[in-house]
């Protein structure tokens, strides 16, 4: 019996990507598709790459439209998920691709989002220690942010193995789809092609507390994070360059051993052979994560770098992977580790 899935916010980039993946998922049947400003339009006009769904029409995002499904994916502006989830009832698996239920500390939420905290749901980054147990059988999933996915997978093994001082410095480059589909002048093709530019510099990006939460849990102590996101001239992909001072006694070998151990059995994370470095093109459209790590003994720092597709592993792929776990399916069902390259 197929899993029946609805998508709220089907006209945006996260909604479109989850539909792309669900179309390839052997256990899922796609049910209601909803939008707000685009309700009533054909999906073919909004997401012309989703050919098999071209003639589906978007409904309004209401509890009625979303009722009667086994799983509901929410791709909504932050602050809207709680109300929808409540009306869906406790027996429906609700997978929130927004930010509302990621943070554990209400003070973090309030400081970065300026509204009351809605709560905390099991966190959909299965590779983190303990995450799979919390996801199994859960009816609520908070899908991680795209940057926290890339950064946590780059750095958590160093912290889990107690190799790094609790002060991480992170610079990440993201493709423009991370900024969404709402048209703004600085996101025009004319502006972004040929340009690299930072934003949210100095600690202001809303993904910062989520990174701190993940790395601190791995480290067993509070990890501070200096995070600078940059916008890169490509539609998809995140390259996260992360570093931290090594604790005394660390060697290149001990660093590599920690990463090999962490990722030996992970189906989606690939620790690259020494000498090869992650590239966002290699994971384009896939749920794979490329990771590489180095120890720079001249400065005593561990440099860990990851590449993901921000829309796949960074959003919709992570959502489907977590759904699989929650439903008791094989974690890799319907997901690929093969990038579309060149």
d(CA 266, CA 198): 32
What is the CA angle 181-187-189, rounded to 5?
Answer: 105
Binding to a second copy (CB under 8 A) within 265-324 occurs at 270, 272-273, 276-286, 288, 290, 292, 294-299, 301, 303, 305, 307
CB closer to a second copy, 133 vs 338: 338
CB closer to a second copy, 254 vs 336: 336
173 forms bridges with which residues in the sheet? 230, 239
7 sits near a second copy (criterion: CB under 8 A): no
Segment interacting with a second copy, rule: CB under 8 A, options 82-90, 101-109, 112-120, 235-243? 235-243
Q: How far is the CB of 229 from a second copy (least distance, A)?
A: 10
CB closer to a second copy, 116 vs 198: 198
Q: Which of 95, 103, 143, 146 is catalytic?
A: 146
Mask 123-162, x = binds a second copy (CB under 8 A)? ----------------------------------------
Sign of torsion, CA 10 326 208 163?
A: negative
The Cβ of residue 130 has, within 10 Å, a number of other Cβ atoms equal to 10
Among 28, 84, 125, 225, binds a second copy (CB under 8 A): 225
Q: In this structure, are residues 250 and 163 in contact, taking their beta carbons and an 8 Å threshold? A: yes
Q: How far is the CB of 108 from a second copy (least distance, A)?
A: 12
Is residue 146 annotated as part of the catalytic site, yes or no? yes
CB closer to a second copy, 66 vs 168: 168
CB closer to a second copy, 152 vs 306: 306
Q: How far is the CB of 203 from a second copy (least distance, A)?
A: 4
Binding to a second copy (CB under 8 A) within 40-69 occurs at 42, 44-45, 47-52, 54
Sign of torsion, CA 233 235 237 240?
A: positive
Mask 184-213, x = binds a second copy (CB under 8 A)? xx-xxxxxxxxxxxxx-xxx----------
d(CA 294, CA 273): 11
219 sits near a second copy (criterion: CB under 8 A): no
The Cβ of residue 49 has, within 10 Å, a number of other Cβ atoms equal to 10
Burial classification of residue 243, based on how many CB atoms lie within 10 Å of its CB (0-12 exposed, 13-18 middle, 19 or more buried):
buried
Segment interacting with a second copy, rule: CB under 8 A, options 74-82, 87-95, 233-241, 326-334? 233-241
d(CA 322, CA 142): 9
Site size for a second copy, by CB under 8 A?
91
254 sits near a second copy (criterion: CB under 8 A): no
102 sits near a second copy (criterion: CB under 8 A): no
Segment interacting with a second copy, rule: CB under 8 A, options 58-66, 172-180, 256-264, 313-321? 172-180
Per-residue tokens: 328: 């008791």
Burial classification of residue 222, based on how many CB atoms lie within 10 Å of its CB (0-12 exposed, 13-18 middle, 19 or more buried):
exposed
CB closer to a second copy, 74 vs 316: 316
The Cβ of residue 65 has, within 10 Å, a number of other Cβ atoms equal to 18
Q: In this structure, are residues 239 and 173 in contact, taking their beta carbons and an 8 Å threshold? A: yes
Burial classification of residue 183, based on how many CB atoms lie within 10 Å of its CB (0-12 exposed, 13-18 middle, 19 or more buried):
exposed
For the annotated catalytic residues, the residue numbers are 146
């Amino acid at each position: 019996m197929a899993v029946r899935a609805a998508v709220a916010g089907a006209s945006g980039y996260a909604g479109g990507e989850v539909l792309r993946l669900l179309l390839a998922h052997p256990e899922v049947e796609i049910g209601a598709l909803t939008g707000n400003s685009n309700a009533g339009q054909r999906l073919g006009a909004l997401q012309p790459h989703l050919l098999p769904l071209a003639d589906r029409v978007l409904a309004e995002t209401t509890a009625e439209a979303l009722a009667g499904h086994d799983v509901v994916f929410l791709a909504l502006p932050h602050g809207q998920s709680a109300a929808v989830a409540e009306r869906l009832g406790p027996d429906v698996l609700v997978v929130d691709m927004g930010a509302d239920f990621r943070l554990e500390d209400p003070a973090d939420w309030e400081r970065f989002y300026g509204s009351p905290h809605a709560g905390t749901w099991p966190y959909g980054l299965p590779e983190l220690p303990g995450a799979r147990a919390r996801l199994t059988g859960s009816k609520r999933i908070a899908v991680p942010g795209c940057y926290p996915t890339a950064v946590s997978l780059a750095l958590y093994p160093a912290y889990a193995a107690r190799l790094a001082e609790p002060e991480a410095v992170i610079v990440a480059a993201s493709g423009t789809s991370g900024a969404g589909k709402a048209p703004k002048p600085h996101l025009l093709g004319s502006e972004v092609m040929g340009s690299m530019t930072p934003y949210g510099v100095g600690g202001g990006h809303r993904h910062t507390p989520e990174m701190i939460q993940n790395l601190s849990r791995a480290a067993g102590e509070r990890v501070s994070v200096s995070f600078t996101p940059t916008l890169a001239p490509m539609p998809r992909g995140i390259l996260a360059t992360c570093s931290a001072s090594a604790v005394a006694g660390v060697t290149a070998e001990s660093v590599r051993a920690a990463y090999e151990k962490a990722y030996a059995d992970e189906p989606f994370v690939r620790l690259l052979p020494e000498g090869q470095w992650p590239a966002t093109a290699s994971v384009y459209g896939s749920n794979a994560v490329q990771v590489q790590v180095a120890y720079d003994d001249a400065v005593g720092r561990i440099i860990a770098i990851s590449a993901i597709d921000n829309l796949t592993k960074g959003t919709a792929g992570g959502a489907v992977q977590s759904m699989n776990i929650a439903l008791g399916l094989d974690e890799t069902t319907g997901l690929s580790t093969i990038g579309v390259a060149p």
